[in-house]
Chains A and B, each alone.
Chain A
Amino acid sequence: MDFSLSKKEILFQQMIREFAEKEVKPLAAEVDEEERFPLETVEKMAKLGLMGIPFPVEYGGAGGDNMLYSMAVEELSRVCATTGVIVSAHTSLCASPIYEFGNEEQKRKYLPKLCSGEWIGAFGLTEPNAGTDASAQQTMAVEEGDNYILNGSKIFITNAAYAHVYIVMAMTDKSQGTRGISAFIVERDFPGFSIGKKEKKMGIRGSATCELIFENCVVPKANLLGKLGEGFKIAMKTLDGGRMGIASQALGIAQGAMDETVKYVKERKQFGKAIGKFQNTQFQLADLQAKIQAVRLLVRMAAWKKDKKLPYSVDSAQAKLFAAETAMEMTTKAVQFHGGYGYTREYPVERMMRDAKITEIYEGTSEVQRMVIAGALLK
């Protein structure tokens, strides 16, 4: 067993940290405040190959792996969780299912554009009445000649307003239950497709989260992803990868809040000494540091198993559950350590606390992760 990073991973970490520090961090507060999608950052990331890290060079990817991808989401989220989730949703929820379940023609058509960042990707599963119970899909897809006609809507879709291609789940045969759900690759220009209202969110406010509307949306049969009726399976497998990405995001948020807190408690003086000199501060930070490190190991293991093509669904759920709850705890305490200053927008920790909350909710709530873990434990 070897816990050290490879030379390649160290070089990658050096690059992504510098990029995050110099290009992403300076925009983080503004992106949050103005609820602005940082398109200029996406362009910079695209140029470096960050929009296609784990995909083979023959499909336009960087030829990297999930470990590098996870490290990228972690380091970006350490300074700006919005930027982290843009990369995560694009990579894990759109490019990945096309790479893993798409046919050769679909891969050749979509992956180069997604990996180069020319196109941004998104994923549509959640509906107003199908959240944690994802099987209750109401969006319908009906076969008509060479096409499927989609009707319905999806909500809370990350990257929606800026994406060019969406992986969309729709019911093709209601009588079959989850086996009647199919996955489709939908382009934003397809007739009958439109973007609905933009959500006003508590955190990750720069990520454009919107509704997707399908009104007799015409999707060519060639854009069926996987086989008919495989949609639910594809969605669940896709979310395994997505959870590894969100776990990386939560890890980054927790680490970012720890970085800010360490800096602050060394500088802030009360009762004649730095607050970091008080044992109450030290013991709380020690506990949090141990948790963050445990999260990091869980996240790296999930990424490592995905790279080794080993089953990693439970690992991903464990990583996400623990990462999200640690991020929430770390950021809440970070605000407390900062006192009144932490409650203001002068300091980044209140933003981190708002950003952390979503990691306990999206791509499967913490309760869903517990269902996955317990399901495997008690089977």
Chain B
Amino acid sequence: MKIVVCIKQVPDTTEIKLDPATGTMIRDGVPSIMNPDDKGGLEIALQLKDKYGAHVTVITMGPPQADDMLREALAMGADRAIHMSDRKFAGADTLATSNAIAGALRMLDFDLVITGRQAIDGDTAQVGPQIAEHLDLPQVTYVEDLQFDGNKTFTIRKSLEDGYQMVQVDAPCVITVLSSANKARYMSVRGIVEAYDREVEVWTYDNISVAEEKLGLKGSPTRVWKSFTKGAKAAGKVYEVEPNEAVDIIVEKLKEKFII
């Protein structure tokens, strides 16, 4: 099985600070990381590799420093890394990004394309589904568990706001994964030692056949009206208990907060 995982380097914060005057992100002093949902996706790919011997390619579109994130993916166990880097890709919104990545995917052989659900810097959750549309492939979004029958069928648990849905889909397909699907592995020491000696392929505009007007700023119909920082939300707590006990806990919590 051949898997391609689309990953993105993002600032390490769920609370991105915005310049109040321009509404753009202030990236200075914020370390960059692999987007958490993408890391969850890479982990699913690596688990399939462990179990079925899959070949895992990671691909990203981004500035030169995204190379470090690709090395991290190699150190975690990816087999091949592709860095799409070209001025013609710059300034892309989700549509232009998905056009470029779909263009690269057309040049690759795969059974499964994995993306993260969404990136923590933009929170759009659009690129994965758009890639599937460009490639005319079935897609399953918000994946929190995936089982493979060893042949060509995936049985997927897809997260919904109020529960989950079990879905079956055949390869080739696109899935978008939640970081909560798993606990991504650490890089191995040997993987780290070798990461910078391995090849990261740099792909430019010339490596893909996509019309220039569909890429970068030119190919981006999105106009930003207003940017804002989303409100902080406390982490919830899950109690796995019998209904009777659950009622007591709920009543207790509501009393604690003086709601009842």
* Residues of A in contact with B (beta carbons under 8 Å apart): 6-8, 10-12, 14-15, 18-19, 47-50, 52-53, 57, 62-64, 68
**Does B205 interact with chain A (Cβ within 8 Å)?**
no
B residues in contact with A14, CB < 8 Å: 72, 187
Contact, CB under 8 Å: B189 / A68:
yes
B residues in contact with A12, CB < 8 Å: 189, 192
Q: How large is the interface on B (under 10, 10 to 19, 20 to 34, 35 or more residues)?
A: 10 to 19
Contact, CB under 8 Å: B195 / A48:
no
- Give the CA-CA distance A276 to B123 in the complex, in Å: 38
Other than the given A11-B187, A64-B192, A68-B192, 6 more pairs (CB < 8 A) read A11-B71, A11-B192, A15-B187, A48-B186, A62-B190, A63-B190
Pick the contact of B189: A6, A7, A10, A64 (CB < 8 A). A64
The A contact surface, by secondary structure, is helix
B residues in contact with A10, CB < 8 Å: 68
Pick the contact of B75: A6, A11, A52, A63 (CB < 8 A). A11
**Does B21 interact with chain A (Cβ within 8 Å)?**
no
- Give the CA-CA distance A127 to B62 in the complex, in Å: 60
* Residues of B in contact with A (beta carbons under 8 Å apart): 68, 71-72, 75, 186-190, 192-196
The answer to whether residues A49 and B196 also contact, given A11-B71, A11-B72 and a CB cut-off of 8 A, is no
The number of residue pairs between A and B whose CB atoms lie closer than 8 Å in the complex comes to 54
In the complex, the chain A residue whose C-beta lies closest to that of B71 is A11
Sample (9) of A-B pairs whose CB atoms are under 8 Å apart: A7-B196, A8-B193, A11-B196, A53-B189, A62-B189, A63-B190, A63-B193, A68-B192, A68-B193
A residues in contact with B193, CB < 8 Å: 8, 62-64, 68
Contact, CB under 8 Å: B71 / A7:
yes
The answer to whether residues A50 and B190 also contact, given A11-B68, A11-B75 and a CB cut-off of 8 A, is no
A residues in contact with B194, CB < 8 Å: 63
A residues in contact with B188, CB < 8 Å: 47-49, 62
- Give the CA-CA distance A48 to B187 in the complex, in Å: 7
B residues in contact with A19, CB < 8 Å: 186
Interface-centre pick from B188, B190, B192 (highest chain A CB count, 10 A): B192
Pick the contact of B192: A15, A18, A57 (CB < 8 A). A15
B residues in contact with A18, CB < 8 Å: 186
Contact, CB under 8 Å: A8 / B189:
no
- Give the CA-CA distance A63 to B195 in the complex, in Å: 12
- Give the CA-CA distance A53 to B192 in the complex, in Å: 11
- Give the CA-CA distance A351 to B188 in the complex, in Å: 30
B residues in contact with A48, CB < 8 Å: 186-189
Shortest CB distance A303–B (Å)? 15
Pick the contact of A7: B68, B186, B187, B190 (CB < 8 A). B68
Shortest CB distance B53–A (Å)? 19
- Give the CA-CA distance A85 to B187 in the complex, in Å: 22
- Give the CA-CA distance A50 to B192 in the complex, in Å: 12
- Give the CA-CA distance A8 to B187 in the complex, in Å: 12
Shortest CB distance A118–B (Å)? 16
A residues in contact with B192, CB < 8 Å: 8, 11-12, 15, 64, 68
Q: What 4 pairs across the A-B complex have the smallest Cβ distances?
A: A49-B189, A62-B189, A62-B190, A15-B187
- Give the CA-CA distance A53 to B72 in the complex, in Å: 18
B residues in contact with A15, CB < 8 Å: 75, 186-187, 189, 192
A residues in contact with B189, CB < 8 Å: 12, 15, 48-50, 52-53, 62, 64, 68
